[in-house]
Amino acid sequence: MFKTLMMASALVFTLAAPVHAKEVVDVADLVDKHGPAVVNISTTKLVKKNGEGFPFALPDDEEMQDFFRRFFPRGGPHGPLQEMPTRGAGSGFVVSNDGYILTNAHVVRNADEVEVKLIDKRKFTAKVVGTDSRTDIAVLKIPAGNLPTVKLGDPAKLRVGEAVAAIGSPFGFENSVTAGIVSAKGRTLPSESYVPYIQTDVPINPGNSGGPLFNMKGEVVGVNSQIYSRSGGYQGVSFAIPIDIAMEVAEQLKGGGKVSRGWLGVVIQEVTADLADSFGLDRPRGALVAQVQEDSPAERAGLQASDVILGFNGKVIENSGDLPRLVGMAKPGTKIPLDVWRKGKTQTLSVALGELPAEEDAATKSSRSYSRGGLALSELSADQRRELKLDHGLLVESVTGDAARAGIRVGDVILAVNNGKVATVDAFRKAIAGVSKGKSAAILVRRGDGSLYIPLKMSGE
């Protein structure tokens, strides 16, 4: 409950630059014409709480659930556990008159029920057709027809400084309108590789997520998705997913409930001025290959660490963030020419793209437990590699059996087995498979700021 409401004076926009006759230069006209296609989304999720309302969610792990049931037989410290609803809110907009709605994946993630409310007060229980967390896009379907729809624009034609407006439900205040300008285009955010975000100064707050960003022609050019904030609320910087990318994802979700992306199989980094000079490049550009994953399309194409990718399928790679988006948008199985800078000259490689694993599959693939050796390992993320200043390594997540007896600890980073670098979990598995029972493998471990070899004797357990 909010105890105080901050009142703000109205901000009047004066458009000094000349506008085309077709443009809607009045935000009020824009809202009257296109606002009915914007919807409010309410979600309900059932969580475990005790009888007195104190939140006490059971963990997913079954052993931990048994622990709590044994030590809290009444279900929790204040009474038996019950399923209680928690509610969330967001925004969305109708993209086809037969009931398809676009919103953010994080708005409907893990929801047990999704309700859509139209501007005419009608309410519908929505079906989640599909979600894609990599772009934060979700498609909903409601049982209704002849619905008002938005008009889609071209984000490529947006200019920095151009006026834009958003409609949504900040803090649950339905059908609120805010306005501002485009602050920048093509923004790459930390851990977000597939979206060149539109940055704006449009006031966006919790509840605006999934709502449309309009240009002054009344066209949707983006899906409001994120804010940059130290307080949790709007602080002048907000980000929207370009509508062309959102619709491409939506069409795949409508077609099969999932998104298929191309996969190259490299770890890349930005080319700095110093790196460009050391590689003999005329200026900082391209994507530097820091690591080529084993058994990947990149390895099969002959790509090497220290290569600088300058072009992908005829498109220039200026910044490293350009590459993941282009690869992701390409169809798996497609043969693509790569322009590569290697040892002072340009050459072209042909690569047949694979299919990027689903996030669930990727998580399973990168973190596995082994009965032999007693280790559960995960591949270092890009952020972890940067923090540790490593180009490869496997993080030890749990230790039992042979590994525990050898002195390997949780938090160690395994760099090599018998002097052979291990950059993937599969590489570690293959290296260990070659060690006979009763023999030892020399495990190079990074621990803290130092490194040491640990002999891992294989007992055959």
Interval 88-146: pLDDT, tens: 899 999 999 999 999 999 999 888 899 999 999 999 999 999 999 889 999 999 999 99
* Domain-embedded: residue 413: yes
Q: How much is the pLDDT for 66?
A: 57
Q: Is 29 helix (H, G, I), strand (E, B) or coil?
A: helix
Residues 157 and 128 in one domain: no
Binned at pLDDT 50, 70 and 90, residue 65 comes out as low
Q: Is residue 20 part of a domain?
A: no
At residue 301, does pLDDT exceed 60?
A: yes
Confidence of residue 201 (pLDDT cuts 50, 70, 90): very high
Nearest one of 433, 439, 444, 378 to 410, comparing CA atoms: 378
Bridge partner residues of 325 (DSSP): none
Of 279-288, 392-401, 407-416, least confident by mean pLDDT is 392-401
H helix or E strand, kind and range, residue 64: helix 62-71
Q: Are strands 335-342 and 308-312 parallel, antiparallel or unpaired?
A: antiparallel
Q: Are 287 and 320 in contact (CB under 8 A)?
A: yes
* pLDDT in the model for residue 81: 53
Known catalytic residues are: 106, 136, 209
Sole residue written with tokens 């293959």: 430
CB 242 within 8 A of CB 195: yes
Band (pLDDT 50/70/90 cuts) for residue 363 is very low
Residues 124 and 197 in one domain: no
- Asked if residue 408 has pLDDT above 60, the reply is yes
More confident residue, 63 or 339: 339
Q: Is 7 part of any domain?
A: no
Residues in the chain: 461
What's the whole-number mean pLDDT along residues 277-296?
Answer: 89
| 174 and 137 within one domain | no
Domain edge (last residue) among 355, 386, 405? 355
pLDDT higher than 50, residue 70: yes
Mean pLDDT of 72-92: 67
Highest-confidence segment of 63-72, 250-259, 310-319, 383-392: 310-319
Handedness of CA 311, 132, 233, 121 (dihedral sign): positive
Query: In CATH, what number is assigned to the domain containing residue 405?
Result: 2.30.42.60
Tell me: do 287 and 370 sit in the same domain. no
Do 403 and 307 reside in the same domain of the chain? no
Distance CA 181, CA 196 (A): 17
The total number of structural domains that make up the chain: 4
| Enclosing domain of residue 81 | 38-141
> Which pLDDT score, from 0 to 100, does residue 49 have?
58
Judged against a pLDDT cut of 50, whether residue 292 lies above it is answered with yes
Output DSSP code: residue 156: G
> Is 4 within the bounds of a domain?
no
Is residue 369 predicted with pLDDT exceeding 50? no
pLDDT over 70 at 55, yes or no: no
Average pLDDT over residues 385-402: 81
Q: What is the pTM of this model?
A: 0.67
216-269 pLDDT, tens digit per residue, is 999 999 999 988 877 777 788 999 999 999 999 999 999 888 888 999 988 888
Closest listed residue to residue 211, CA positions, set 143, 158, 136 = 136
Instruction: Spell out the alpha helix ranges (H) of 22-158.
Output: 27-34, 62-71, 105-108
Cα–Cα distance, 415 to 413 (Å, whole number): 6
Residue 431: the pLDDT is: 84
Identify the pLDDT of residue 54.
43
pLDDT band at 84 (very low <50, low <70, confident <90, very high): confident
Residue 246 has a pLDDT of 96
**Poorest-pLDDT segment among 47-51, 107-111, 172-176, 457-461:** 47-51
**167 and 31 belong to one structural domain:** yes
- The residue among 130, 136, 119, 270 whose CA lies nearest residue 194 is 136
Residue 285 lies in a domain: yes
Written in H, E and C, the secondary structure of 230-285 is: CCCCCCCCEEEEEHHHHHHHHHHHHHHCCCCCEECCEEEEECCHHHHHHHCCCCCC
The whole-number average pLDDT for the span 406-411 is 86
Exposure on the CB side of residue 343, measured as CA atoms within 13 A: 3
> From CA 322, how far away is CA 194, in angstroms rounded?
9
DSSP H helical ranges for 353-445 = 359-366, 382-388, 401-406, 425-433
For residue 333, the SS3 value is coil
Question: What backbone phi and psi angles, to 5 degrees, belong to 33?
Answer: -80, -40
Do 187 and 200 lie in one domain? The reply is yes
Q: Which residues pair with 336 in a beta bridge?
A: 351
Rounded distance between C-alpha atoms, residue 313 and residue 322, angstroms? 12
Residue 10 domain flag:
no
With 60 as the cut, is the pLDDT of residue 367 above it? Answer: no
User: Which domain CATH number covers 81?
Assistant: 2.40.10.10
Least confident of 38-52, 182-196, 385-399: 38-52
Token pair recorded at residue 132: 């894609």
Structural domain includes residue 344: yes
- Give the best-scoring range by mean pLDDT among 59-73, 111-125, 381-395: 111-125
Identify the pLDDT of residue 198. 96
Residue 236 neighbours by CB distance under 10 Å? 13
Q: Is 8's pLDDT higher than 50?
A: no
- Same-domain check for residues 188 and 237: yes
Supply the mean pLDDT for the chain.
82
Do 136 and 183 belong together in one domain?
Answer: no
Give the end of a domain, one of 75, 106, 141: 141
Judge if 135 and 197 occupy the same domain. no
CA distance 342 to 309: 9
Residue range 73-100: mean pLDDT, rounded: 76
Does residue 342 carry a pLDDT above 60? yes
Q: Is 323's pLDDT higher than 60?
A: yes
Are 249 and 284 in a shared domain?
A: no
Answer yes or no: is 442 within a domain.
yes
Tell me the one-letter amino acid at 129: V
